[in-house]
Structures are given as structure tokens and as C-alpha cells.
Amino acid sequence: MPTSGHPLILTLDVQGAPHRWVTWQHACFYYARSLVAWAAGDHRFTFHGGTNRETGQRSAITVESIIAIKGKALAPRGRPAVPPLNNRELFHRDRHICAYCGHEYAFLRLTRDHIVPVSQGGRDLWMNVVTACRHCNQKKSGRTPEQARMELLYAPYVPNKAEFLILSNRNILADQMDFLAQHVSTHSRVKIAA
Ligand SMILES: [Zn+2]
């Protein structure tokens, strides 16, 4: 996100469940509309706005690194949301390790492998995809691992919300990581380190 060097702000719902990352500008909007229910971060950032013509005072908003947003400002709750499937987060989930040869590769040498191929009715979902290097993906071709006699070295899983938030931001503050780590399920492969 092209937003100067400021870290993203972690938003929560009023119950404290992680919601999403927003830019500091977006966080200022929540503060200005009095939509911040409470804050939990260790970090504070103060942003200065324009000068008021009548008072000569310069406006300022202090944004905290973790903020809970009131009610309807957030998307409606209901069934737990499945995070969108993107290669970046998929490769990060699998720690950039090919599920077939076990080697670690750079982003550009990795592919999204459908365990059950799309041509055989496999779907494009977290539970049917793993990270594979180009070589292994080509070798496996339109076959299942059994058909190709290629063993899966690890199992796919659906990241929960907190894990997805960790996967999708490479510039997480220590307090934000501590908060999200408490919400990551135990089967996660994500390395929790701030
Ligand atoms: Zn491989």
C-alpha cells in the first residue's frame, strides 16, 4: 500500500476479534467519526492536519496501533469469513516450500498446485491447493498426487482471520503480532515472530 512509511493499523470489532488492516488515513477517519470504541496498542502516531482559520490551531489526531471499531462500521458478522485465496498468502502459508520436493524457493519460482486438478473437478480453495515449484507442478501435470506417485509433504489448511492478517502484512508491529498470535490456531505453520 503506498502510504509513506507508516505501519498499517490493526482494526478489531468491539468484541476484540481481529478484523483487517487499514492505513493511518483510514484510522484517522474512524477517529474523526468517533467510531473508535477502544484502543489496545503500545504505539501511538500523531498526524497533523490543516490550520483552523479562526482559532489558528493546527488539528491533530493521535492514532493507536490497534483499535476496535464500533458496530456497523465493520462488515456484518455471521458465518466465519474464509480469507481470499491469493498466491502471496498461499506461498507464505506454506513457507515458500514446495509440497512435493521440499525445497524452498523464491516467489517467482513457485506456483499454485491444485491437489485434485481442476480438470478432474478439483476446486480453487485453500483446502485443495499447495505451493509447488514449477518443476514439480509440471511433472505432476493434470494428475492427483496418487496418480502421479508424488507424495504430499504437508497438508493444506484454511488460515483463520488472524493468520491471514499475519500473512498479508510484512510490516507488523510487535504489539500487533502479539495480539494476532493469540488468535492463531495451533495447526498454523506461520512463524510468529515480530
Ligand atoms: Zn518442487
**55 in a domain, yes or no?**
yes
Asked if residue 174 and residue 119 are part of one domain, the reply reads: no
**109 in a domain, yes or no?**
yes
Report the alpha-carbon distance of residue 85 to residue 80 in Å, rounded: 15
Asked if residue 166 and residue 71 are part of one domain, the reply reads: yes
Q: For residue range 35-67, list pLDDT tens digits in order.
A: 999 999 899 999 887 788 888 888 888 999 999
pTM for this model (two decimals): 0.76
Asked if residue 51 and residue 13 are part of one domain, the reply reads: yes
Report the alpha-carbon distance of residue 163 to residue 36 in Å, rounded: 23
Query: What domain range is 36 assigned to?
Result: 9-75+162-181
**121 in a domain, yes or no?**
yes
Question: 139 CA distance to ligand 1 centroid (A)?
Answer: 9
Q: For residue range 68-117, list pLDDT tens digits in order.
A: 999 765 555 555 668 889 999 999 999 999 999 999 999 999 999 999 99
Report the alpha-carbon distance of residue 133 to residue 104 in Å, rounded: 9
Asked whether the beta carbons of 95 and 189 are under 8 A apart, the reply is: yes
Question: 184 CA distance to ligand 1 centroid (A)?
Answer: 28
Query: Closest by alpha carbon to 128, among 160, 85, 95, 167?
Result: 85
Report the alpha-carbon distance of residue 152 to residue 4 in Å, rounded: 41
**Overall domain count for the chain:** 2
Question: 194 CA distance to ligand 1 centroid (A)?
Answer: 29
What pLDDT is recorded for position 146? 97
**157 in a domain, yes or no?**
no
Question: 182 CA distance to ligand 1 centroid (A)?
Answer: 32
Asked if residue 171 and residue 127 are part of one domain, the reply reads: no
Asked if residue 172 and residue 144 are part of one domain, the reply reads: no
What pLDDT is recorded for position 82? 80
**15 in a domain, yes or no?**
yes
User: Ligand 1 (ion): which residues have CB within 5 A?
Assistant: 98, 100-101, 133, 136
Asked if residue 105 and residue 128 are part of one domain, the reply reads: yes
Question: 3 CA distance to ligand 1 centroid (A)?
Answer: 36
